[in-house]
């Protein structure tokens, strides 16, 4: 137990920061208009201030009560985010199959339940499944492999 409820303090502070940022950004970059004839900036600015106000209501009472610190699972977070990023980076340059293989190999690092050989088998199975469903079944124009341009294609 912590002496303060940091979970809500962090959450509330994030809301305040986000709200103020949106309100100020909208007010400075967009015409506000009048209430009768609202410009594009009015609605986002009002929402930003409301959000910041709600953030205050979340954070302030939390200063005076005990709570628990959130316990992030950094490893799962990193593995999942990196695997989606790898997919995004390789789908256009290397093709569907390499993208899925990289995605799978990064994703299994979140827990140590699979050995490398098993992970490789899983990635092969998923690649096959994806090609069958999306390429053959649904006819989507996704290239299974894209060869680097210095290798002549056949």
Partner 1 sequence: MFASFIDNLTIGLTVAFSLSNLFYCFVGVLLGTLVGVLPGIGALAAISLLLPITFHLDATSAIVMLAGVFYGASYGGSTASILLNLPGTPSAAVACLDGYPMAKQGRAGVALLMTTVASFIGGSIGIVVMMLLSPLIVSAALKFGPAEYFSMMVLGLVAASTISSGSALKGIAMVVLGILLGTAGSDLETGAGRFTFDIPELYDGVSLVVVAMGLFGVSEVIASIRTIRRGEIDRKSITFRSMIPTRDEVRRSWMPILRGTGLGSFFGALPGTGGVIASFMAYAIEKKIARDPSRFGKGAIEGITAPEAANNAADQTAFIPTMTLGIPGNVVMALMLGALTIHGIVPGPQLMAKHPDMFWGLVMSFWIGNVLLVILNVPLIGLWIRLLVIPYHLLYPAILMFVCIGVYSINNSPSDVVMVMVFGGLGYAMRLVDFQPAPLLLGFVLGPLMEENLRRTLLISRGDFMVFLERPISATVMAITAALLAWAAFGALRRRPAKAIEAT
Task: Report the C-alpha gap between 118 and 106 in whole angstroms.
Answer: 13
Whichever of 137 and 152 has its CB closer to partner 1, that residue is 137
Please, which of residues 83-122 interact with partner 1 by CB under 8 A?
Answer: 83-85, 87-89, 91-92, 96, 99-100, 103-104, 107-108, 110-111, 113-114, 122
Closest CA to 52 of 15, 22, 11: 15
Of the candidates 138, 148, 150, 151, which one interacts with partner 1 according to CB under 8 A? 138
User: Of residues 51-80, which lie at the interface with partner 1 (CB under 8 A)?
Assistant: 51, 54-55, 57-58, 70-73, 76-77, 79-80
d(CA 16, CA 23): 11
Indicate whether 39 belongs to the interface with partner 1 (CB under 8 A).
yes
How many residues bind partner 1, per CB under 8 A?
A: 68
Let me know if 106 is exposed, middle or buried by CB neighbors in 10 A (0-12, 13-18, 19+): buried
**Per-residue burial over 60-90, b = 16 or more CB atoms within 10 Å of its CB, e = otherwise:** eebeeeeeeeeeeeeeeeebbebbeebbeeb
Residues found near partner 1 in the complex (CB under 8 A)? 7-8, 10-11, 14-15, 18, 22, 25-26, 30-31, 34-41, 43-44, 47-48, 50-51, 54-55, 57-58, 70-73, 76-77, 79-81, 83-85, 87-89, 91-92, 96, 99-100, 103-104, 107-108, 110-111, 113-114, 122-123, 126, 129-130, 134, 138, 140-142
């Amino acid at each position: 137990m912590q002496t303060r409820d940091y979970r809500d303090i962090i959450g509330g502070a994030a809301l305040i920061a986000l709200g103020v940022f949106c309100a100020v950004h909208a007010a400075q970059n967009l015409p506000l208009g009048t209430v009768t004839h609202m410009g594009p900036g009015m609605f986002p600015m009002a929402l930003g201030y409301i959000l910041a106000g709600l953030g205050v209501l979340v954070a302030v009472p939390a200063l005076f009560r005990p709570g628990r610190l959130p316990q992030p699972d950094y490893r799962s977070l990193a593995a999942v985010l990196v695997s989606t990023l790898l997919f995004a980076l390789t789908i256009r340059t290397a093709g569907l199959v390499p993208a899925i293989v990289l995605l799978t190999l990064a994703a299994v690092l979140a827990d140590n339940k699979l050995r490398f050989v098993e992970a490789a088998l899983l990635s092969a199975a998923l690649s096959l499944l994806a090609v069958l469903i999306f390429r053959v079944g649904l006819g989507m124009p996704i290239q299974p492999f894209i060869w680097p341009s210095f290798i002549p294609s056949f």
